[in-house]
Amino acid sequence: MGIYEIREFIMEVLDPIGVVLGLIISIPVFLSWYYLWQERRYKRRMYKQILKKPGKRPCVLIIDVLPKADIYNQVLHYCQSNPALKDIPKERYFKLNHSSIFTPEQMAQFQRSLDAKFQRITQSGADAIHLFFAGPLAAAMVVGAEFANVLTYIYQYDRNKGTYIPFGPLNIL
């Protein structure tokens, strides 16, 4: 095997493979760049909003830990029909979902996901939370402990009226 054959092997086999691999590797790089750019843009917009309107940044938090139930569309419909909630931008709608039967072993996982959601809410600059909760009492107690130091308004579903009614702010007893 001479120099000419090695050069020909590199140019005809390895070079096209390198080009294809380079293109494949560049896809996650550009996707990561786009994700970071979107995140930076989101944070700048929230920061400008905080500077413009201090104390007027509510958010909606939907926590659904009931199996085979999804209250997101129902809450969205209620928020669009409620004059106090319809001006909240979609960027400040947060959802925490748990689709299987809630067991005590899953409480730690639920607490971690709730902490992550709370961090995301505080990063958005929200200063008031409108909470819609569907789930067992134990999970509600964890949510109450997590959001006790933030202005949180609770909404409960009235089955007789078929809509949500404001229950009031979350208070520590």
pLDDT at 71: 87
pLDDT in tens, 62-112: 998 887 778 888 899 999 988 888 888 888 899 998 777 777 788 888 889
What are residue 154's DSSP bridge partners?
A: 131, 168
- Average pLDDT on 28-33 reads 91
Please indicate, yes or no, whether residues 158 and 78 belong to a single structural domain of this protein: yes
Domain closes at, from 11, 34, 52: 52
- Written as one letter, the residue type at 86 is K
Please indicate, yes or no, whether residues 107 and 38 belong to a single structural domain of this protein: no
Q: How many domains does the chain have?
A: 2
Please indicate, yes or no, whether residues 59 and 109 belong to a single structural domain of this protein: yes
Please indicate, yes or no, whether residues 133 and 150 belong to a single structural domain of this protein: yes
Distance CA(142)–CA(105), nearest Å, equals 14
Please indicate, yes or no, whether residues 1 and 62 belong to a single structural domain of this protein: no
Distance CA(50)–CA(32), nearest Å, equals 27
DSSP 153: E
Please indicate, yes or no, whether residues 13 and 88 belong to a single structural domain of this protein: no
Listed as own residue / partner, the contacts of 9-15 with beta carbons closer than 8 Å and 24 or more positions apart are: none
Please give the radius of gyration of the chain, using alpha carbons only, rounded to the nearest integer. Answer: 24
pLDDT at 60: 92
- Average pLDDT on 15-25 reads 87
Please indicate, yes or no, whether residues 37 and 81 belong to a single structural domain of this protein: no
Please indicate, yes or no, whether residues 27 and 94 belong to a single structural domain of this protein: no
pLDDT at 1: 62
- Average pLDDT on 133-150 reads 85
> Whose CA is closest to 146, among 94, 75, 101?
94
Q: Residue 78 belongs to a domain with what CATH number?
A: 3.40.50.510
Distance CA(47)–CA(42), nearest Å, equals 9
Please indicate, yes or no, whether residues 158 and 93 belong to a single structural domain of this protein: yes
Distance CA(13)–CA(20), nearest Å, equals 11
**Domain span at residue 76?**
54-169
Please indicate, yes or no, whether residues 149 and 64 belong to a single structural domain of this protein: yes
pLDDT at 173: 56
- How would you classify residue 157: left for phi > 0, otherwise alpha for psi between -120 and 50, otherwise beta? beta
Please indicate, yes or no, whether residues 106 and 117 belong to a single structural domain of this protein: yes
pLDDT in tens, 45-61: 777 766 666 557 889 99
122 Cβ contact partners less than 8 Å away, ≥ 6 residues apart: none
> Whose CA is closest to 138, among 173, 109, 103, 86?
103
Please indicate, yes or no, whether residues 68 and 153 belong to a single structural domain of this protein: yes
